[in-house]
Amino acid sequence: MTRTVYVNGQYLPEHEATVSIFDRGFLMSDGVYEVTSVLDGKLIDFDGHCVRLSRSLSELEMAAPCSNETLLEIHRELVRLNDITDGMIYLQVTRGNPGDRDFAYPAEDTPPTLVLFTQSKPGLADAPVAKVGWKVISVPDVRWGRRDIKTTQLLYPSMAKMMAKKVGADDAWLVEDGMVTEGTSNNAYIVKGKRIITRALSTDILHGITRAAVLRFAAEAQFEVEERNFTIAEAQDADEAFITSATAFVMPVVEIDGTALGTGKPGSVTARMRELYLDEMRKAAI
């Protein structure tokens, strides 16, 4: 089945969808994005993604391409047209095509570019790796200073992912001033007893939609939540560790820079949080 994608008002077969070579997204990474998971044909935390998209757009003084109601319709139509049961929907908004290259932003009436496509991942929530956990390495965080904006400037996270893969690890945790900021495309946590520790929100990290939900469910389940910085050494000494993202949900981390955590197996707090998150979010899916 040919994938149907969405570009600027049109649903098209993927090989017919095009964007200009002058698009600011292509030339300048002048764009923002969201990735929404689909489970059982329904959107997970769609409202959370809409709120963050609006914030990313306004921080960059970029026009919204359409209303959230229209975005919801497009997401649902793509799920329907591509017969997605489990997977994700990628959405990107760029500052559009000014017809030439210039560092200055184009005229305000330049229409933004809006692209969405689906990625089918049957059994996304039952990925076998969630039973085994991830191995991560630490690498310096040399990204720009506005990581709270979900921009398409993903070259360094991509390089860090490759550094991890080259040494047989699953991901990298980024470290700045001796403290873990986050993973390449996820938020990072450690667990000590019944305490879940994760870096506080600031411009240093992306404000994960999954992070917000997990911390809410953790508090409701009587886990203690501590929002503070931690080092790689403290993480290696923790009972458990995990990451969260909209597509990996809650994923155990069992090894950091070659040091196994606790038993070297996914921990019970992490397993409980994964179960809670998936149960609650499936119930609220739209």
Catalytic residue set? 150
Among residues 170, 171, 182, 204, which is the contact residue for ligand PMP, using CB under 6 A? 182
Does 187 contact ligand PMP by CB under 6 A? Answer: yes
Does 188 contact ligand PMP by CB under 6 A? Answer: no
Alpha carbon 252 to its chain's center: 16
Residue 36, both tokens: 């929404």
Q: Whole-number minimum distance, CB 214 to ligand PMP, in Å?
A: 9
> How many CB atoms are closer than 10 A to CB 249?
26
Q: Edge-to-edge strands of the sheet including 87-94?
A: 10-13, 4-7, 113-120, 87-94, 31-39, 42-43
Instruction: Compute φ and ψ for 78, nearest 5 degrees.
Output: -70, -35
Nearest CA-CA partner of 181 in 159, 198, 197? 198
Does 141 contact ligand PMP by CB under 6 A? Answer: no
Does 240 contact ligand PMP by CB under 6 A? Answer: no
Among residues 246, 250, 269, 273, which is the contact residue for ligand PMP, using CB under 6 A? 246
Site for ligand PMP in 194-233 (CB under 6 A): 206, 208-211
Among residues 92, 94, 198, 245, which is the contact residue for ligand PMP, using CB under 6 A? 245
Does 151 contact ligand PMP by CB under 6 A? Answer: no
Among residues 4, 186, 198, 270, which is the contact residue for ligand PMP, using CB under 6 A? 186
Residue 272, both tokens: 């409980």
Say if residues 17 and 23 touch (Cβ distance below 8 Å).
no
> What residues make contact with ligand PMP under the rule CB under 6 A?
182, 185-187, 206, 208-211, 244-246
